[in-house]
Structure 1
Amino acid sequence: MFGLFGLFGKSKQMTALEAELRDAGLHPQLLQDSIKLTMLRLLPEGGKAARPDELRGAAQLLAYCILGPQDFAEATSVREKETVERRLDAVLDHPESLDSQIVLLALKTDNADPAVAERFEVEE
């Protein structure tokens, strides 16, 4: 994921994920590297086989979970917010899906916005 001991820089997958997170309104430096690495590992073949739209969708979902609905909409658009919210509606019906795992990642690392935690009835 990262170059050997940081000598060669970040992997292409990590760089692409960070760019998508930034586009979704979440500065990548606000996230621990372990969370970003876990995100990549959730994607097909550690992100190596992820299509650009899959990577973008995963980054948007994580950003929404961390920023919350209002900040996410301000950073992207109301249309993007509504798209992510439709995906969140399906999370409970598909507990093994990538989306469910991303939401769980945000919740379990205590990075989820209170509105998102409340939506999934998680007590802090």
Structure 2
Amino acid sequence: MPIAFNHTIVAAHDKRESAEFVSELFGLANPVPFGRFLAVALEHGATLDYMDVADGEQIHPQHYAFLVSEDDFDAIYGKIESRGLQHWADPGGQRPGQINTNDGGRGVYFRDPAGHYLEILTRPYGSGG
């Protein structure tokens, strides 16, 4: 049997706010309740399962990268800019307000409401260009 990624749990202070942020920004279906989680469906059946952390519990930011089409990049990046969301061309945040052109594609980093690092890119790393 081939091995495929199925889901990951994403910690949030407000699971609804974080799940809706990603689903709306990316043009995905609305989050669906699944037990104590709110699930955001991605391609190939994978989901981001948002879960509230206990009051006062610290969230350790994670990095989530999404491979998107050129058209999706334009749409998502347009929303990032129109909403005035901070964003960077690099993971270290040294190039604010810019995108990168790594491997002949485009990419950008930004944060979600829980502080996780999100990245959209149009070409996989190491694909050349």
Which range, TM-score by smaller chain? 0.3 to 0.5
- Indicate the structure with greater strand content: 2
TM-score, normalised with respect to structure 1: 0.35
TM-score, normalised with respect to structure 2: 0.34
